[in-house]
Homo-oligomer: A and B are copies of this chain.
Amino acid sequence: MTAVSDVHVREVGPRDGLQAEEPIEVAARVELIERLVDAGVRDVEAVSFVSPRAVPSMAGAADVMAAVRRRPGVVYTALVPNLKGAELALEAGMDALSVTVSASPTYNEKNVHMSVDESVAAVGEICGLVAVTVPVDAVVSCSFGSPYEGEIAPGAVHDLGRRLLDTGATSLTYADTTGMATPRRIDDLLDHTGLAVGLHLHETRGTALVNAYAALERGVRRFDTSVGGLGGSPFVAGAAGNLATEDLVHLLDDVGFTTGIDLDRLLAVSARVAELVGHPVPSRVAAAGPRTRLAPV
């Protein structure tokens, strides 16, 4: 793959990464978001406007966004589960929203206690509210299978994506929530969806990077990643974290893609994240350092 083009990285660590951790202070979340942007991140899923009872570590989203120094040209995204969340997100001045619906009916039911149809309708309500002002990215979880239903046909996943676009979503991201994607499955889904999609990949089976690589070869240029590789689904046993931002940037830098992100500065943020959450992050690039790091003399 000879590649000199730009890859759009949406950093989801402050939201998807931290939501599975013990709550950390608003000031620390603000620091994390600002340092990620300082490292070159241009799109950050910073918060979610969800019930603080359901997801305690995401409480205080409005406080976080009120405190963040916003940098022009950077997209600050919020995940919202419903109309109420979307209203709060717009009040907080978010640049973009993300919403999720699962391609797995059972996962959707367990995750948000709604049928897929109900979730699509909720997306429609959100888009009706906000479509004119900010873009809404619809994330289709379990796009590569589910531990409940097993394989989910790529055609069915694509159909759900189309319904979400029809209902007002402005872009689609396909998520490998349970780590069932493989290069072949990536190929199969892209055969249906085309390449103007984002991918959200998980390390459950250690395949996030190889799946990203296969998608890059096909021409996908948009990925969700999480600093340090934090994250993972609380609803699936054994689900490891998201594709680590530093692992993807490390690969992209070497192949020749640009992201705007400075790997050394990002690794410093990753080290700080480990302090904030109180345990090492899963990323192996974070542990070993970049390949250009030489041994001490």
- Give complex CA distance A163, B219 in Å: 40
Main secondary structure of the interface of A (DSSP, over half): loop
Asked whether B291 lies within 8 Å of A205 as measured between CB atoms, the reply is yes
Q: Which chain B residues border A209 with CB–CB below 8 Å?
A: 206-207, 209-210
Q: Known contacts being A147-B295, A180-B291, is A284 close to B203, with CB within 8 Å?
A: yes
1/0 per residue, CB under 8 A from B, across A175-199: the answer is: 0000110111100000000000000
- Give complex CA distance A214, B212 in Å: 12
Question: Of residues 232 to 254 in A, which have CB atoms within 8 Å of B's CB atoms?
Answer: 236-240, 244, 247, 250-251, 254
**Contact check: which of B150, B240, B295 meets A284 at CB < 8 Å?**
B240
Is A204 an interface residue, CB under 8 A from the partner?
A: yes
Contact size range, A: 35 or more
Q: Which of A205, A236, A238, A255 gathers most chain B CB within 10 Å?
A: A205
Is A124 an interface residue, CB under 8 A from the partner?
A: no
- Give complex CA distance A70, B150 in Å: 39
Closest to A148 in B: B295
With both chains docked as a complex, state the minimum distance between the C-beta of A233 and any C-beta of chain B, in angstroms: 12
- Give complex CA distance A184, B179 in Å: 25
With both chains docked as a complex, state the minimum distance between the C-beta of A87 and any C-beta of chain B, in angstroms: 35
- Give complex CA distance A214, B247 in Å: 16
Asked whether B206 lies within 8 Å of A238 as measured between CB atoms, the reply is no
With both chains docked as a complex, state the minimum distance between the C-beta of A260 and any C-beta of chain B, in angstroms: 20
**Contact check: which of B184, B213, B288 meets A239 at CB < 8 Å?**
B288
Is A54 an interface residue, CB under 8 A from the partner?
A: no
Chain A interface (Cβ < 8 Å from any Cβ of B): 1, 145, 147-148, 150, 179-180, 182-185, 203-207, 209-210, 213-214, 236-240, 244, 247, 250-251, 254-256, 283-285, 287-289, 291-295
9 residue pairs, one from A and one from B, having the closest CB atoms: A206-B284, A147-B295, A182-B254, A238-B288, A210-B210, A180-B291, A209-B210, A210-B213, A204-B288
